[in-house]
Structures are given as structure tokens and as C-alpha cells.
């Protein structure tokens, strides 16, 4: 791999795999709320929050960390304004106090904050206006990426106007390919990723253990462990689901995300760690496998867009299973490609109806399908071009899935949001 490509792939990993506390959509809303208060210079007398449909969808059903069990846009924005530190990025709610939670409850019971849905081309859009008692106003917009402030104003004066389309990693991701990912992982200078992957292992394992030891949501991970015979596959799936159980129900532990999602970060890492541990491979080989998993997940998700009706757990499970196949086959290219194709054409139609406890079951279902695809691939069995949406090669299949997610599933996304709004989610 030439130096330019190597540098690009490394930058994608370093830019994408960052720590976050809580589900990233409500945390991004909290970040906007915290920034709006900072720009205003005082706690506001009133707030307005306007978001794209996909943000609304992914905030409605998930507990906001440190909120005392509350959900929703108003909760996230108010809590961010109360105690958020915008300098902490996606860990903006680290310092919430009991007094903040008490004040949050009072404000939620009032008309302090209004919310609405914005019709815009951006799938990821958050706008927060904050008004002070003495007539000042701040405006903050986050667009295209959970931490990308695209516009900031105070009293109509533009303090920031960043019109770039999405983060640098989105543009860089266009250079990814399955073969490029494998070549990068196999020639990787481990010192370049040691700290990054050590943090991913530490944080994501911690929340997975927490999900097994404590009851969160529907306890999908605990149920798998309790009702299925012990095996590496079951343990890997259960631990990933347990991490999602905890994360979707307000656990205060941070994770290393993938493609802007904690669930995807957990799904792309925990099974690989478990299989590597069971096989007794070296730490260096585990790092290489994590590079495969994370980058394959980013490669597929980048073709779908930041937020869509296509469940991102499928992309992460695809990456995870590709890395497992890489470990078990000693890097056999056709087997890895069969794993990716088999996963995508089996469970690629699973829709996203927002962040909430059932995401843990979707993580488990995605991994079960992906690890089945790995088993088939390792036995030289696969689905063939012309069978459904299977294309001539793995890259064409990934692109086909991307088109389905970006274009064909857009009406599905709108229908899901309408159903959620009708039932008051």
C-alpha cells in the first residue's frame, strides 16, 4: 500500500473511532444545547430545537444519559444547556449533577423548550435557538456529522459559517475498498493504532460486561447467555447485544463509536475480540482484525449516508464477521468477500426505527446472520451473482446495497417517522 493510501486509511480510523457517552443523536442535541448556552453567555430563558426527521427518530425512544430516565429532544437540549461542556464533544454530559437533574424535571414540566421537525436535504441536522431574559439570542446548527458545527450566531452576528458537506472522513471513505482495507490491515504499523484500539477494547468491553451484570432494557444479551448453549458465537453475540442493552437505556459508560454510532462501535469490536481471545491469537493480530472490522463497517455505512432507514448494525456486523473470517481463514480473500456478500443479502433490508432498547435485538440478529455467512464462506459456500441483488463482485454488491439504503428506503424512513409521530414517540 502506498503512503498516501495508508495515511488516508489511518486518518479514517482516527477520525471515526472516537469516544461518546450515550446514544450519539441525543448527545449531539445536548452538544448543540450546551453550545447555544455558551454562545448566549448565560442560561437561557427559553429554547427552541428543530431537527431533521432522522434525529427525531433516533432521540424519541432512548434514555438520555445522566437524565434520571428521561427521553426526547427537549430533555437532551435542556440537559446540555444546564450542565453540558461543549468542549467535551460527544462526552458533553459527563458532569451532570443531582441539582441539574432536579432542574431538568422542572423545565420539562414547563413550556421552556419547543421542538419541531425540519424539512431539509440533510439527514443529520440540529438547530438550537436560545433566548436570554434580557433579549439576546444565540443560534447553533450541527449538520452532516454529530460534532460538526456548521453555523453559529449571536444576536444575528455570524460567528461561524462552515458550509462544507460533512466531515473529512466522509470524503476519505470514498477511497475505501475491501481489498484496500485488507492490505492496510496486513501492513499496518501497530504503533499507529495501539492506543486507539486499546481504548476501543477497554471501553466497549466494559459496557458489554455492564449490560450482562445489570438489567437494562429487555436484557437481550443476558437472555442469549441464559437460554443458549455456551459457544464463542453465542458469547460474542450476547456481549455485543448486552452493550447495546446498556447504552440504549441510559448507562453512563462511554464507548468508542463507529460511523457515528455506539451500537455500531460495539458490534464492530466485541465479537472480534471474543473470537481472537478464543483462538489465542497475539495482540498484534487482534489489532489487525479490528482494523479489518472497523474499516469494512465504515466502508459499507459510508455508501448509505450518516442516517437512513437502513439499520447500521448490519454494516457493523458485516465488518465484524469479515474480521472473524479473516482470523479463521488466515486472510483468505474470496472467503472474506463471500462473508460480506452473504451478510448483506441476508439481512440488508432490516430497517431502523430509531434508537431504543430493541436495537440490542437488532444487533444480535445482525451478528447471527453475519456469523452464519462466515460459516458458509469458510466452507466455500456462497450466494451467486444473479440471485436476488447479488452482483458480480463484492464492491458492486456493496454499492447496490448503498443505493437501496439511500434511495429505495427513503419512503420507508418517512413512513417510520410518521408512525412514530402518530403514536407520540
Phi, psi of 127 (to 5 degrees): -125, 130
Task: Name every residue whose Cβ is closer than 8 Å to that of residue 68 and which is 6 or more positions away in sequence.
Answer: 101, 104, 105
Q: Are 12 and 298 in contact (CB under 8 A)?
A: yes
* Burial of 286: CB neighbours in 10 Å, binned 0-12, 13-18, 19+: buried
Residue appearing with cell numbers 447555544: 36
Residue 49 — very low, low, confident or very high, per pLDDT cuts 50/70/90? very high
DSSP H or E run through 114: strand 113-118
310-319 pLDDT, tens digit per residue, is 999 999 999 9
Question: What is the dihedral sign for C-alpha 365, 313, 321, 384?
Answer: positive
Strand partners, 2: none
201 has a pLDDT exceeding 80: yes
Task: Name every residue whose Cβ is closer than 8 Å to that of residue 356 and which is 6 or more positions away in sequence.
Answer: 60, 61, 62, 248
118 has a pLDDT exceeding 50: yes
Residue appearing with cell numbers 444479551: 221
166 has a pLDDT exceeding 70: no
Q: At what angle do helices 220-227 and 232-248 cross, to 10 degrees?
A: 160
320-368 pLDDT, tens digit per residue, is 999 999 999 999 999 999 999 999 999 998 999 988 999 999 999 999 9
Q: Which of 229, 223, 172, 168 is nearest to 358 (CA)?
A: 223
| Average pLDDT along the chain | 93
Residue 169 — very low, low, confident or very high, per pLDDT cuts 50/70/90? low
The percent of residues above 90 in pLDDT, for the chain, comes to 82
24-44 pLDDT, tens digit per residue, is 999 999 999 999 999 999 999
Q: What's the rounded Cα separation, in Å, for the pair 138 and 152?
A: 8
What letter does residue 352 receive in the DSSP assignment?
Answer: P
Do the bridges between strand 137-143 and strand 254-256 make them parallel or antiparallel, or are there none, so unpaired?
unpaired
In this prediction the pTM is 0.92
Q: Lowest-confidence range among 7-11, 167-171, 246-250, 412-416?
A: 167-171
386 has a pLDDT exceeding 70: yes
85-103 pLDDT, tens digit per residue, is 999 999 999 989 999 999 9
214-243 pLDDT, tens digit per residue, is 999 999 999 999 999 889 999 999 999 999
Instruction: Report the pLDDT averaged over residues 177-185.
Output: 97
Q: What's the rounded Cα separation, in Å, for the pair 192 and 226?
A: 39
* Distance separating the N- and C-terminal Cα atoms of the chain: 48
Question: What cell does 225 get?
Answer: 447467555
What local confidence, expressed as pLDDT, does residue 44 receive?
A: 97
Q: Between 413 and 129, where is the model more confident?
A: 129
What local confidence, expressed as pLDDT, does residue 60 receive?
A: 87
Core vs surface per residue 312-348: b (16+ CB within 10 A) or e: bbbbbbbbbbbbbbbbbbebbeebbbbbbbbbbbbbb
What local confidence, expressed as pLDDT, does residue 68 receive?
A: 92
Q: What's the rounded Cα separation, in Å, for the pair 125 and 177?
A: 28
197 has a pLDDT exceeding 70: yes
What local confidence, expressed as pLDDT, does residue 215 receive?
A: 95
152-165 pLDDT, tens digit per residue, is 999 999 999 987 65
Identify the CATH class of 176-422: mainly alpha
Residue 425 — very low, low, confident or very high, per pLDDT cuts 50/70/90? very low
**What are the structural domain ranges in the chain?**
23-161, 176-422
What local confidence, expressed as pLDDT, does residue 379 receive?
A: 98
252-306 pLDDT, tens digit per residue, is 899 999 999 999 999 999 999 999 999 999 999 999 999 999 999 999 999 998 7
What local confidence, expressed as pLDDT, does residue 423 receive?
A: 66
What local confidence, expressed as pLDDT, does residue 358 receive?
A: 96
Q: Decide which of 3.40.50, 3.30.70, 3.30.1330, 1.10.3470 is the CATH code for 23-161.
A: 3.30.1330
Q: Where are the beta strands (DSSP E) in 243-350?
A: 254-256
Amino acid at each position: 500500500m502506498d503512503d498516501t493510501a495508508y495515511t488516508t486509511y489511518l486518518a479514517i480510523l482516527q477520525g471515526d473511532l472516537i469516544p461518546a457517552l450515550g446514544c450519539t443523536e441525543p448527545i449531539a442535541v445536548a452538544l448543540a444545547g450546551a453550545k447555544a448556552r455558551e454562545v448566549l453567555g448565560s442560561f437561557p430563558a427559553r429554547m427552541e430545537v428543530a431537527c431533521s426527521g432522522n434525529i427525531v427518530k433516533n432521540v424519541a425512544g432512548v434514555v438520555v444519559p445522566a437524565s434520571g430516565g428521561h427521553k426526547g429532544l427537549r430533555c437532551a437540549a435542556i440537559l446540555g444547556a444546564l450542565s453540558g461542556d461543549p468542549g467535551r464533544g460527544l462526552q458533553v454530559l459527563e458532569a451532570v449533577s443531582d441539582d441539574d437533574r432536579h432542574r431538568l424535571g422542572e423545565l420539562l414540566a414547563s413550556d421552556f423548550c419547543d421542538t419541531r421537525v425540519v424539512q431539509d436535504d440533510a439527514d443529520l441536522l440540529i438547530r438550537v435557538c436560545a433566548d436570554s431574559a434580557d433579549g439576546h439570542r444565540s443560534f447553533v446548527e450541527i449538520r452532516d456529522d454529530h460534532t460538526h458545527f456548521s453555523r453559529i450566531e449571536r444576536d444575528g452576528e455570524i460567528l461561524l459559517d462552515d458550509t462544507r458537506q460533512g466531515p473529512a472522513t466522509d470524503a476519505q471513505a470514498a477511497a475505501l475498498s475491501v481489498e484496500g482495507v485488507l492490505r492496510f490491515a496486513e501492513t499496518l504499523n501497530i504503533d499507529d493504532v495501539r492506543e486507539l484500539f486499546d481504548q476501543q477494547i477497554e471501553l466497549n468491553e466494559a459496557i458489554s460486561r455492564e449490560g450482562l451484570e445489570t438489567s437494562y432494557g429487555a436484557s437481550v444479551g443476558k437472555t442469549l447467555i441464559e437460554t443458549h448453549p455456551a459457544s464463542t458465537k453465542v458469547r460474542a453475540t450476547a456481549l455485543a447485544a448486552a452493550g447495546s442493552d446498556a447504552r440504549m437505556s441510559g448507562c453512563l459508560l462511554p464507548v468508542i463509536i463507529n460511523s457515528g454510532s455506539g451500537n455500531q462501535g460495539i458490534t464492530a469490536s466485541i465479537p472480534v475480540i471474543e473470537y481472537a481471545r478464543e483462538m489465542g491469537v497475539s495482540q498484534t493480530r487482534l489489532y489487525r482484525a479490528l482494523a479489518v472490522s472497523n474499516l469494512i463497517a465504515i466502508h459499507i455505512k459510508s455508501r448509505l449516508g450518516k442516517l437512513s432507514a437502513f439499520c447500521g448494525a448490519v454494516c457493523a456486523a458485516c465488518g465484524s464477521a469479515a474480521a472473524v473470517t479473516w482470523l479463521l481463514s488466515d486472510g483468505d480473500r474470496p472467503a472474506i468477500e463471500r462473508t460480506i456478500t452473504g451478510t448483506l443479502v441476508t439481512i440488508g433490508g432490516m430497517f431502523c426505527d430509531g434508537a431504543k432498547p430493541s436495537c440490542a435485538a437488532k444487533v444480535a440478529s445482525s451478528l447471527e446472520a453475519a456469523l452464519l455467512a462466515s460459516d458458509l464462506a469458510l466452507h466455500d459456500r456462497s450466494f451467486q451473482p444473479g440471485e436476488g441483488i447479488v452482483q458480480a463482485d463484492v464492491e458492486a454488491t456493496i454499492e447496490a446495497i448503498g443505493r437501496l439504503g439511500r434511495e429505495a428506503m427513503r419512503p420507508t424512513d418517512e413512513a417510520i417517522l410518521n408512525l412514530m409521530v402518530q403514536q407520540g414517540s
